[in-house]
Amino acid sequence: MFNHDQNLWIHQAQLLEENGILRPYNIGIKAGKITTITTEDDRHEYTHILDANGWILLPGVIDPQVHFREPGLEHKEDLSTASHACARGGVTSFLEMPNTRPLTTNQATLDDKLQRAAQKSLVNYGFFIGATRDNLAAINQVSPTCGIKVFMGAMHGDLLIDDAEYLERIFATGDRLIAVHAENQQRIHQRRAQLADRYHLPEIHSEIQDEQAALQATALAVHLAIKYQRRLHILHLSTALEVEFLRQHKRPWITAEVTPQHLLLHRSAYHQLGALAQMNPPLRTPHDNQVLWQGLKEGIIDFMATDHAPHTLAEKARPYPESPSGMPGVETLLPVMLTQAKAGQCTLNQVVNWLSTNVAAAYGIANKGKIAPGYDADLVLVDWEHYHPVRREDLQTKCGWSPFEGWELTGWPQVTIVGGQIVYNQGQFNEQARGKALQFLADTIYTNPT
Ligand code: DOR
């Protein structure tokens, strides 16, 4: 069921060709790398054979925005439960955010996370460094990191950077990637005061943290990125207004992402899900869903992320605004998107680009995001024939719920492979397997191929 030597022959998997056609191939893996893709039968050269059963083989998903809560908030999630959820969801690498306890804001807290992940994570890992008011030198020196995370709003405490002058200093200093949570904190304060009398239902969340709050912050970040020619990534775009703004102002060194919930859920979700639908930035309207899809297909939005942000059901049951914002996502991202592809909303090649290839290119993660000789064997075999519902009892995330519960999905991962090792095989986990720390190439110039 599992191989422990990173040597593997995958027999008769369906591989996706560039023209979108699926054809059966055999894949040879040695020392964790893809060595051959062939129609010949060379399985005698390999110690472990995996029959692919006609399933489709895709590059492992790279989820570039997750909150895995360790250290300090392990009652919501930890690196073991989160990485089990990744393995079940076909996510072979993740980039994790700094709002843990302590915050990840210097080399010592980054090293601590790397050490914890080395001990616990079934899949590969990278971490953002969080900008505060007093760590300008550290955010440009720590290593390895995928980039600097800046919360422009919707955050409290040391990670909130809501002062435009200091934000400009961050853009003016250094050259590594800056990823922004773009919501304008002043606007949120104003809206909160204006809407105070209606302040008890989670629906109000989308009106307090409204479209203008998102647009204003995105516009400011883009302005600074152009002024300083600084590599900028805009996290979880949520509005049609931002897509239209980026259509005019985007530059080759600016990228953006969208979550499946912002593509597929809208404000009406509050009626069914209550505070489970509450996240930052909030859910919007069907029109926003549609323009975000369009932006993704046009390449204005470069790739996808889950913003996996688990909170317990007890925490979510608190009355608004004490209910925390965020929803889990790593184990539903791939089947949600493959179900969209099956329904004709997008192509399989687009899903691969949005979930793997473009993410690796944008973050300068070498040898990942594609199935080709010499690439790391981070792979997922999916069943794109049968449909199964998202069920609470199957979830690996510690929070134990999903906004997609009850959705009938296809494309569920059957086998997930990290560095040539099988880590998940039809409901079973390889508890001995461990992922590796990701390395990020400096100065990656990324141009969306779409
Ligand atoms: O809804 C959210 N929750 N958005 C974020 O950006 C942070 C996250 C959290 O950490 O709970």
- pLDDT score of 5: 84
- When pLDDT is cut at 50, 70 and 90, the band that residue 449 belongs to is low
Of all helices (H) and strands (E), which one includes residue 18? Answer: none
Q: Which residue has the tokens 């323009």?
A: 291
C-alpha distance from residue 436 to each of 78, 114, 117, 121, 272 (Å): 17, 9, 8, 8, 39
Write down the pLDDT at residue 198: 76
Q: Tell me the three state secondary structure of residue 43.
A: helix
Long-range contacts of 205-211 (CB under 8 A, 24+ apart): 205/270, 205/278, 205/282, 205/320, 205/321, 205/325, 206/267, 206/270, 206/282, 206/283, 206/284, 209/153, 209/154, 209/183, 209/280, 209/281, 209/282, 211/239, 211/240, 211/241, 211/284, 211/288
Region 418-425: mean pLDDT is 98
> Is the per-residue pLDDT at 169 higher than 80?
yes
Distance CA 187, CA 308 (A): 25
Distance CA 90, CA 143 (A): 27
Q: Please, which residues have CB within 8 angstroms of residue 422's CB and are 6 or more apart in sequence?
A: 1, 2, 3, 8, 50, 415, 416, 430, 433
309 lines ligand 1 (CB under 6 A): yes
Across-strand partners of 93? 62, 124
**Would the CA dihedral through 141, 143, 146, 149 be positive or negative?**
negative
Integer-rounded Cα Rg, in Å, for the chain is: 21
User: What integer is the mean pLDDT of 129-155?
Assistant: 97
Question: Are 404 and 390 spatial neighbours (Cβ–Cβ below 8 Å)?
Answer: yes
Predicted local confidence at residue 223, as pLDDT:
98
pLDDT at 158: 97
Mean pLDDT of 418-432: 98
What is the reported pLDDT for 416? 98
Across the range 1-7, mean pLDDT stands at 87
Give residue 47's pLDDT: 93
Task: For ligand 1, atom 6, name the residue with the nearest CA.
Answer: 280
CA of 325 to the centre of ligand 1 (A): 6
* Alpha carbons 110 and 413: distance in angstroms, whole number: 31
pLDDT digit string (tens) for 103-137? Answer: 999 999 999 999 999 999 999 999 999 999 999 99
Tell me, what's the pLDDT at 197? 79
> Exactly one of 162, 210, 302, 307 is catalytic; which is it?
307
Q: What's the mean pLDDT in 311-332? A: 97
Q: For position 406, what pLDDT does the model report? A: 98
Structural tokens at position 145: 């990191």
pLDDT at residue 1 in the model:
87
Q: Where are the alpha helices (DSSP H) in 268-380?
A: 269-273, 286-298, 313-316, 333-342, 348-352, 358-363
Question: Residue 153's Cα: distance from chain center in Å?
Answer: 20
Strand partners for 58: 380
Q: Is 0.95 topped by the overall pTM? A: yes
pLDDT for position 337: 99
Q: Is the CB of 316 under 6 A from ligand 1?
A: no
Q: Is 307 a catalytic residue?
A: yes
| C-beta of 326 in contact with ligand 1 (< 6 A) | yes
pLDDT at 442: 72
For the Cβ of 100 lying below 6 angstroms from any atom of ligand 1, the answer is no
Can you tell me the mean pLDDT for 408-426? 98
Question: Ligand 1 center to residue 97 CA distance, Å?
Answer: 9
**Residue 447 pLDDT greater than 90, yes or no:** no
Residue 374 has pLDDT above 60, yes or no: yes
Is the per-residue pLDDT at 446 higher than 80? Answer: no
Q: Is the pLDDT of residue 188 over 70?
A: yes
Cα–Cα distance for residue pair 111/99, rounded to 1 Å: 15
Report the share of the chain in percent with pLDDT over 70: 98
The two three-digit tokens of residue 23, written as one number:
């054809």
pLDDT band at 448 (very low <50, low <70, confident <90, very high): low
| pLDDT band for position 6 (cuts 50, 70, 90) | confident
307: region left, alpha or beta (phi > 0 left; psi from -120 to 50 alpha): left
Write out pLDDT tens, residues 211-234: 999 999 999 999 999 999 999 999
Angstrom distance (rounded) from CA 28 to CA 20: 22
Cα separation of 286 and 306, whole Å?
Answer: 19
For residue 124 and ligand 1, the question of a CB distance below 6 A is answered with: no
Atom number in ligand 1 closest to CA 67:
10
Report the alpha-carbon distance of residue 282 to residue 203 in Å, rounded: 9
Q: State if residue 99 touches ligand 1 by the CB under 6 angstroms criterion.
A: yes
**Ligand 1 atom 3 nearest Cα:** 326
pLDDT higher than threshold 70 for residue 311: yes
- Of all residues in the chain, the percent with pLDDT exceeding 90 is 95
Distance 230 CA to ligand 1 centre (A): 25
Residue 418, helix vs strand vs coil: strand
Q: Which atom of ligand 1 is nearest to the CA of 324?
A: 11
Interval 187-200 mean pLDDT: 88
Contact status, residue 123 vs residue 86, Cβ threshold 8 Å = yes
